[in-house]
Chains A and B, each alone.
Chain A
C-alpha cells in the first residue's frame, strides 16, 4: 500500500488547488468533500496522512479526528486551520493531532509537515508489524518453552530453572534450544529483547 495524502475539505476550489499542488510535489493524494464521505470509504490498512480542514459544514475536522480515534485508526491527522484559531487548534493537538497548518498554505510548510507525518506513519506501522511478528513467534512456543523463556529472562541459570519447573537440567537445555530456534534468536540477549519488548508494550 503506497503512502497517500487523504485530503478532506468542503471547499471545491481549495480541494482542487491543494491536490494539484500535492501532485506537483510528488504526493499521491485522494480528496473528499466532507468528513462523512471520508469515513464511508476509510479502510484501516490505509497508510500515509489525513489532511483535513478544521471548520467545515456538517462534521468538523475535530469530530472526524475523534471518530477515527474511536475506531482505533493510527493514521496521523494534520489539521488545516485558520490563523489565530488558537482554541480549536489547541483542542485538536490535545486530542492527538500530529500537526497543524495555517491557511493560506505555504507549499514548503505543507510538504515538510506531510513528509514528516508520512514518515511517522511508516515508522509507526513498522513498529506495529514488528511487534505483531514477535507476538506470532511467541505464540508458536509451547507452555513449557514459554516458562523457560520467562525464567531465563528473569536471570535464572539452567539448574535453577530445572528446580523451579521440577525437570532435569538436561530437559531445560532441550526446551531452551527449541525455544531459541522458534524465536529465531541466536543468543540470550535476543530472547530478552523479544520478551521485554512485548511486556512493556503489550496491554
Chain B
C-alpha cells in the first residue's frame, strides 16, 4: 500500500485534518465570512432601494449557526462579515457609517439570540419544547434586528418613512426564514453520517419525494397564479417530515426556497416575493415542528425498547449468577467431603502400613483434582459476582413502577388485569440501582399476572402501594389471585422452587438476593386488601 496514490491521499487528508483542527476556529471564521458575503450576493433579490432588505436572508442562518458553534464572543466576525456584504454587494448606498452601525446592530442581536441558548444544551433543537423555544427566540431576535436595521436607514433618510412598516416586515421574514432553514441544518452537520446512513436505507422514497418537490415547484412557476398552487406543497412536506424528521423537512424547505429564488432571477417574474415568503415560513414551521415531534416520539420508543432489552439482559445475567452460586454451594459440600476423605486416606496409607508408595501419591493426586474442580466452580461464581451491576441509585420508585407497568402493559391488557396504584408523588429516592429495582418489580408484577390467570376476567385485580417507614420506602405488590399455599411458604424464596410448568424457580430467589445485597428486603405477607398474594419490597432511602 505504501506509496500508492490512495495511501498518499489518505496521508494528505490526515495532515489537512490536523491542520484544520489547529487553525479550526480562525479558519472557519474566515470561511464563514466569505460564505456570508457569497450567500448575501446570491440571495440579493428584490431588495428595497439597494439595501439588505431582501425577503430571504440565508446568511443570517449561517450567522446563527456560526455563533452557536464558535460562541457569542465571535460576534465581531459577524459584524465584519455583514459590513463587508454591505460594502461589496450593496455598494454602500447610504455612505459607510449607517452600514457600519447596521452591521454592528445585527451582530449584537444574533449574539444575544445565541447567548440565550434557546435550543437547550445541545443547540440543535431536536425536542419539541426546545424547537418551540428556538422558533420564538428567533422570531424575537429577528424582529429586533429588523427594526434596528431599518431604523438606521430611516434616520439617515435613505429610506422614506412611509415604507418603514413594510421594510421591517420584509427584513424580518427574510431573516426568520434564513435562520429556521439553515441554522438547525448546519448545526446538525457533525451528525451527517447518521443521516446519510438513514438516507441510504430509504433511497427510493427520498428520490420520489425529491421528484415531487421539483414537480410542485415547477408547477408553481408554470402557472400564473403563484399562491394558489403553493398549498399542495404541504402534502409532500408532511410526508417528508413524518418519514425523515426535522432535518429532512428543513432540507425540503430549503430546496423549495432555493427553487423559488432561482425562479425569481427571471426578469419576467414580478410577483411580490414577500407573500410567498410568508407561505414558506408557514411551511417550514410545520415541517420543523412535525419533524421534531416525530423524532421525539421515535426516540422515546427506542429508549423504551432499549430499557426492555437492558432489563432482559440483566435478568438473564442474574439467573445465570444464581444458578452458578447455587451450583457452587451444592457441589462444594460433596467436594469438601471428598477432599477430606482423600487426605484422611493418604494419612492412613502411611509407609509403615502400606508398602506401595504409589498409593499415597495417587490419593494426593486425586485430592488435588477434587480441589481443582472446586476451583472451577469458584471462578464461575466469581465471574457473575464480580460483574454484577453495583452502582446504587438514586432511583425514583414511582417512575420505576411506571416504566415496569408500561413494559407489561400488553400482557396486562390481554389478561384484563385492573391495576390500581397508590403511590404518593413525593416519595423519597432510594439507593438501589434502577435496573435492579425494575427487575424485581417486573418479576413481582409478572408473577401476579400469572397468578391472576386462574381468576375469571372480571376479578383480576392488582394493587401497587408505596409508603415511607423508618428510613425505607416500602412498596407492596398485591393481587387478587389464589395466594401462596401455606405449605409452600417456607420454600418460597429458595432457588429452583416453582409452581409454574415452564418456570425455573429463580425469580423470587434472585429478587431477594438482589435486594439484600443492597440493604433492602423482599418478603411475603398475606394480602390485606385483595385477598391474594402480597409481596413487600423494602428499599433503603438515599441518605
Bound form: Cα–Cα A16–B371 in Å:
18
Give B321-352 interface residues, CB cut-off 8 Å to A.
Answer: 328-329, 332-341, 343-344, 347-348
Residue of B nearest to A108 (CB): B343
| A-B pairs with beta carbons under 8 A, tally | 63
Contact call B344/A104, Cβ cutoff below 8 A? no
B385 to chain A: which residues have CB within 8 Å?
84
B339 to chain A: which residues have CB within 8 Å?
17, 104-105
B442 to chain A: which residues have CB within 8 Å?
none
Bound form: Cα–Cα A17–B340 in Å:
5
Contact call A103/B336, Cβ cutoff below 8 A? yes
Contact call B378/A83, Cβ cutoff below 8 A? yes
A82 to chain B: which residues have CB within 8 Å?
328-329, 332
Contact call A20/B381, Cβ cutoff below 8 A? no
Interface residues of B toward A: which range?
20 to 34
| Interface residue B382 (Cβ < 8 Å from any Cβ of A) | yes
Bound form: Cα–Cα A17–B336 in Å:
8
Contact call B329/A104, Cβ cutoff below 8 A? no
Residue of B nearest to A20 (CB): B344
Bound form: Cα–Cα A104–B347 in Å:
17
| Interface residue B154 (Cβ < 8 Å from any Cβ of A) | no
A13 to chain B: which residues have CB within 8 Å?
333-334, 337
A14 to chain B: which residues have CB within 8 Å?
333, 336-337, 340
| Interface residue B374 (Cβ < 8 Å from any Cβ of A) | yes
A103 to chain B: which residues have CB within 8 Å?
332-333, 335-336, 374
Contact call B328/A20, Cβ cutoff below 8 A? no
Q: Which of B338, B348, B381 contacts A84 (CB 8 A)?
A: B381
Contact call A24/B336, Cβ cutoff below 8 A? no
Residue of A nearest to B371 (CB): A104
How close is A11's CB to chain B, nearest CB, in angstroms? Answer: 5
Contact call B348/A18, Cβ cutoff below 8 A? no
| Interface residue B370 (Cβ < 8 Å from any Cβ of A) | yes
Contact call A104/B370, Cβ cutoff below 8 A? yes
| Interface residue A67 (Cβ < 8 Å from any Cβ of B) | no
How close is A40's CB to chain B, nearest CB, in angstroms? Answer: 22
Bound form: Cα–Cα A106–B336 in Å:
9
| Interface residue A133 (Cβ < 8 Å from any Cβ of B) | no
Contact call B344/A21, Cβ cutoff below 8 A? yes
A107 to chain B: which residues have CB within 8 Å?
340, 343, 347
Q: Which of B344, B347, B348 contacts A17 (CB 8 A)?
A: B344
Contact call A104/B341, Cβ cutoff below 8 A? no
B328 to chain A: which residues have CB within 8 Å?
82
Bound form: Cα–Cα A17–B348 in Å:
13
| Interface residue A120 (Cβ < 8 Å from any Cβ of B) | no
Bound form: Cα–Cα A55–B344 in Å:
24
A11 to chain B: which residues have CB within 8 Å?
333, 336-337
Residue of A nearest to B346 (CB): A107
B347 to chain A: which residues have CB within 8 Å?
21, 24-25, 107
Contact call B341/A105, Cβ cutoff below 8 A? no
Contact call B337/A17, Cβ cutoff below 8 A? yes
How close is B538's CB to chain A, nearest CB, in angstroms? Answer: 19
Give B375-392 interface residues, CB cut-off 8 Å to A.
Answer: 378, 381-382, 385
Residue of B nearest to A24 (CB): B347
- Identify 9 residue pairs between A and B in the complex whose beta-carbon atoms are under 8 Å apart, listed by A's number: A11-B337, A18-B340, A20-B340, A55-B329, A84-B385, A104-B339, A104-B370, A105-B336, A107-B343
> A residues touching B (Cβ–Cβ < 8 Å)?
11, 13-14, 16-18, 20-21, 24-25, 55, 82-84, 103-107
> B residues touching A (Cβ–Cβ < 8 Å)?
328-329, 332-341, 343-344, 347-348, 370-371, 374, 378, 381-382, 385
Give the 7 A-B residue pairs with the shortest CB-CB distance, closest first: A17-B340, A13-B337, A104-B339, A17-B337, A104-B336, A103-B336, A107-B343
